[in-house]
Structure 1
Amino acid sequence: MTVSNRDLALRMAELARATAMPRSLMDILADVTSAATELIPGVDVAGVLLVGKGGAFETLAPTSDVLFEIDQLQMKHVEGPCVQAALDETVVRTDDFREDQQWPKYSPEVVKLGILSGLSFKLYTADRTAGALNLFGYQADVWDGEAETVGMVLAAHAAAAIIASREGDQLQSALTTRDRIGQAKGIIMERFNVDDVQAFAMLRQLSQDSNVKLSDVAQQVIDTRGS
């Protein structure tokens, strides 16, 4: 059954509002994968795969536990639509894994799980991490151009949520570091009877001499406050 343009627009608007609200990344990604099963005919299971450096990977917001097995197979063989989409292609479409010749190790094993078709969309996340929104079906030959279009829109929502989450984490980390350095400066000012500029200069000199990050030096000063 094809989803009407009105229903699609309403669902996309809901997702946009959800992305802008103060909700957890996992909740937003769960909305995206759930929407994929609702809006795209032929999608039986959906999830997000993140691939980091060194081959580390993480399966997020799966609509079924079979996604964990699918992702493990791909990382085990270092081949498959999710890996290809995450690292190379923008959209990877497989109409029938039984006839697929691209992934000779992966495809036969995923068919054993009952998966016959797949659509994977690259998530533009960050240089350090690649990602893909992955959709799978228990039937073959179910995808059309509309499925790819809706999938790309959902992938954009997922990528935006991941980027926003990381920016939030980075901001919180920066604020924590600033507070830590400020606290360490206060300790040095009190201990050595110096002003703010001199205290920071002492911290920076300690960092350079010991080849330790400024924030770590500040934490060491805080930890030895009672010494």
Structure 2
Amino acid sequence: MDWQHFAQRIATMAHDLLEQDTVAGTLDRIAASATELVEGCDAAGILILRDGHVQTLAATGPMAEESHRLQESMQEGPCFDAARRRDGERVFRIGDMTALQQRWPAFAPSAAELGIGSMMGFLLFTDDENLGALNLYSRLPGRFTETSETAAWVLASHAAVALSSARNHAQLTEAVATRHVIGEAMGILMARHRIPENEAFNVLRRYSQDANVKLRDVARRVTELGALPHPE
């Protein structure tokens, strides 16, 4: 591999990731980058685990999606282990799906039937959070080499930082938007009922608790209706 050229492409990818407007866009770009940058990669996907259930966050095609579903149904596989961060490992690889696998004996032959020849799983993580697993697939066995693994690891490292940044930005944007709509709703109640600011907030909070509705959703309805919605 021409590592200088690879470094230039990684730099371009990192810039592209930061240019994405949404978390979903960042995830899709990470998956697409794997097929573009890692030799032998025919498909890629990103998954997270929630209470033993797999959630596909991005996939470049059916191969990745079907592999995720297969690993969930069998509760085993490289991506599954990577997302669980088992034994502190961060990289998992199956060089040949048709060879006997002691670690994933049920998953490997079923994956081979899906047309997967080899695969790798990488934990996406930062110091503060586990973001899931990046999964790379090849239709042929033996396609992923040590060089491929190194390239994918570099990609995963950059991707984790970009994904964490995108999530933080999305959370901050949502927080600012929520604060704005709550402030607008409080202003409506203050003008309509001639009450002070703290009382207007307490009205929203009590309604939220009594109706079991999120505060920002109550506030949004007040801005739409010009008053508190009637309890259902």
Question: Which amino acid is 1:104 matched to?
Answer: P
State the SS of the aligned residue for 2:96.
coil
Tell whether the 8 Å contact from 2:14 to 2:162 is kept in structure 1 after alignment. no
Superposed, 1:153-168 pairs within 5 Å as 153-168=154-169
Q: 1:196 to 1:126 in 2, by over 3 A?
A: farther
Segments of 5+ residues of structure 2 without an aligned counterpart are none
1: CA distance between counterparts of 2:25 and 2:83? 21
Q: Cα deviations across residues 85-117 of structure 1 (Å, max 9, x unaligned)?
A: 111231011122222121222111111123221
State the SS of the aligned residue for 1:49.
strand
1: CA distance between counterparts of 2:111 and 2:201? 58
1:44 is displaced (CA, Å) by 2.6
1:18 is displaced (CA, Å) by 0.9
Segments of 5+ residues of structure 1 without an aligned counterpart are none
Match of 2:90 in 1: 90
Match of 1:19 in 2: 17
2: CA distance between counterparts of 1:208 and 1:126? 36
Match of 1:139 in 2: 140
2: CA distance between counterparts of 1:210 and 1:28? 36
Match of 1:78 in 2: 75
2: CA distance between counterparts of 1:31 and 1:175? 26
1:215 is displaced (CA, Å) by 3.1
Question: Which amino acid is 1:195 matched to?
Answer: P
State the SS of the aligned residue for 2:150.
helix
Q: 1:139 to 1:56 in 2, by over 3 A?
A: closer
Question: Which amino acid is 1:85 matched to?
Answer: A
Deviates more, 1:129-138 or 1:200-209: 200-209
2: CA distance between counterparts of 1:99 and 1:80? 14
2: CA distance between counterparts of 1:100 and 1:120? 16
What TM-score, normalized by structure 2, do the two folds share?
Answer: 0.80
Give % identity: 37
Q: 1:202 to 1:36 in 2, by over 3 A?
A: closer
- The reply on whether 1:182 has 2:183 as its aligned counterpart is yes
Q: 1:188 to 1:8 in 2, by over 3 A?
A: same
Decide which of 39, 42, 45 is 1:44's aligned counterpart.
42
Superposed, 1:1-227 pairs within 5 Å as 3-53=1-51, 55-62=53-60, 64-88=61-85, 89-97=89-97, 98-124=99-125, 130-204=131-205, 213-219=214-220, 221-222=222-223, 225=226
Q: Cα deviations across residues 188-215 of structure 1 (Å, max 9, x unaligned)?
A: 2112223334433444455567776543
2: CA distance between counterparts of 1:150 and 1:34? 14
Give me the CA root mean square deviation.
3.0
How many pairs were matched up? Answer: 224
